[in-house]
Structure 1
């Protein structure tokens, strides 16, 4: 046996070298030792199998719990919309606007639960219609030039919606558009009983997003397709979309709860 020191520049390590002639062979395991090793291996395999089974069972339980929670959220969304219909004091409203960021109303429609149009009108805005908005609804400057202004239209709309549960697909957007149109005309929009169908519909038809920590909003067109709702009036116009929201609520009420 010898000790060898190696390294450079003050950094050294030592190791021990043995003479192979002096090496002693490792004794072979006894039958008892081999049996103990075999038993230990079997126990280890059983523990590993049990661990895998427990992990699989826990994963299946977690998935079942998650699906049950999703189903419960969807049921709550349907229940919220059904309660609106059951109370029987609701109308739907939709607007088309000048733009998305600072919208003014350029078209508005109010629809009864059965689809009857209570009011529909173009609205001459103060500002200009953006090309992006026009690409969606197709309302031209020529049409709006002869349309009534917001004060006149609001006076006609107001009796149809005050005292009602006012259901809109994206209620926050429609509310913002009506409030902006009112401010620009020196009017004050009263407090209205808004109901956002899009928010209630998100857990019904939207997928969960871990990024947003919430359900993905779906479009009105997707919700109608999922529920089998068909309306002949043009989409992305106030009357057609208000009728789609009304038909969607009625469909949810009259169809059986998914199993």
Structure 2
């Protein structure tokens, strides 16, 4: 038989007993606490993943900035006998000679160009990004200037008309040039600095070829830019003959025909259009 006095006795021993149900409603159960702990852990892991992803994006962006990739490029080509002028987005001017190929690269941290073949004069507008022209492993970095770059079988000729540039042919070979100076760079080396005759260097911009005691081998290399079929020396020793004068680049075949009247050579035209220059 139950004791009718027992509840009162239990309440007397445990003064919180009357509040037990109210406390249970306010204090979460063990299962609820465990569920909340798991949910909090999952939220922390998500935040870490998001933070890690953001850090990766920042690191990737920083790496891209340091690498300075080309995100777009445009090729500009001129045909034999054609000249072309273009104005770049920063206001700089480029003039391209006959049979030239220039690649204009859009980069994050620099203004870069690759002269794959031919000749170009660059008039550079100052800006926050370095202005660099590359060709055959040679880099020409503008220091505020107007300069001419010619790239062919002889190497890369750099002539400064105004201002200064830095020419680098390798990590250990570099040279600073100022107005009126020129070099020929190739095979990781840079020639001695010589005087640059600005009128001779830029004669091509006016449709002229100007020679001043120029070796025949160099005359032929310049003529070749204005004709499709090759012109060759039958004897390499003839290449040392020197030639002077100013000639019209639009009448290049007339110049070829004049060679025997200027130098002790004869020319032979072949059916394919090529020309062989031999001694007489």
TM-score, normalization by structure 1: 0.29
Larger Rg: 2
Specify which structure has the bigger relative contact order, considering alpha-carbon pairs within 8 angstroms and separated by 6 or more residues.
1
**Structure number with higher helix proportion:** 1
TM-score, normalization by structure 2: 0.27
